[in-house]
Amino acid sequence: MTSDIHGPEGLVWADRSFLFVLGSSRADGNSEILARAAAERLPDGVPQAWVDLNTLDLPDFQDGRHETERLPGGPVEAELFKATVEATDIVLVSPLYWYTVSAQTKRYLDYWSGWLAEPGADFKQRMAGRTLWGVTAMSDYDERRADGMVTTLEYTAAYLRMRFGGVLLGNGSRPGQIRNDDRALLRAESFFAGETPFASFPLEQAVR
């Protein structure tokens, strides 16, 4: 991709920064390989941050939204919050596990609920207008079986009034096998240049 200053729908590349959130339970997995292939095509100068949830000491989310006494979050949560609100584009890089995102990815999304309720965090306002993307590897050849994951991400984006760039799908089981999926690697080349409409729920017009 050339480093033109306008991305999809006139979004200015120069103002954008990508956070890749790795959600596999193994290192160097297929979903990461596919995400890195797509990231290589981002214009030079677009900042990329990569965080691997599997290596972070992040406890399960505890729902304290309705408690009067809030326990302070730990440093890992703080680091994730900062990385999230600093990015214009959040890329959830998760293998397909049981037809949806991995537990690591889901746990990260659960923290979003805490941040939504955190006084002064302005999480909803800050996320509105940003873009959510997904990258996944799956062993099944029938990509319709990833619909549950796609819906999860699309509705999450709709709830946060974000744009949704879709989910880049690839096939693989053993680590590295995704390199044999020529179709996925081809799609990766132009994935981040794709349309990013505002996400919406069914029968609801996208809120801008």
Ligand X SMILES: Cc1cc2nc3c(=O)[nH]c(=O)nc-3n(C[C@H](O)[C@H](O)[C@H](O)COP(=O)(O)O)c2cc1C
Q: Which is nearer to ligand X, 46 or 188 (CB)?
A: 188
Starting at the earlier edge strand, list the strands of the sheet with 163-171: 48-52, 18-22, 89-93, 131-138, 163-171
Exactly one of 16, 21, 172, 196 binds ligand X (CB under 6 A); which one? 172
For tokens 């999230």, name the residue. 84
By CB under 6 A, residue 201 contacts ligand X: no
By CB under 6 A, residue 105 contacts ligand X: no
Task: Sort residue 176 into left (φ over 0), alpha (ψ -120 to 50) or beta.
Answer: left
Exactly one of 53, 91, 96, 168 binds ligand X (CB under 6 A); which one? 96
Q: Which is nearer to ligand X, 24 or 131 (CB)?
A: 24
By CB under 6 A, residue 95 contacts ligand X: yes
Take residue 33 and report the two structure tokens written for it: 């390989």
Exactly one of 6, 26, 65, 70 binds ligand X (CB under 6 A); which one? 26
How many other C-beta atoms are found inside a 10 Å radius of the C-beta of residue 106? 17
Are 199 and 154 in contact, with CB atoms under 8 Å apart?
Answer: yes
Take residue 96 and report the two structure tokens written for it: 């397909």
Exactly one of 46, 51, 80, 137 binds ligand X (CB under 6 A); which one? 137
Distances (CA, A) of 111 to 56, 60, 74, 115, 144: 14, 9, 12, 6, 28
Q: Which is nearer to ligand X, 7 or 95 (CB)?
A: 95
Q: Which is nearer to ligand X, 150 or 158 (CB)?
A: 150
Q: Give the footprint of ligand X on this chain (CB under 6 A).
A: 24, 26, 29-32, 95-99, 137-140, 172-173, 175
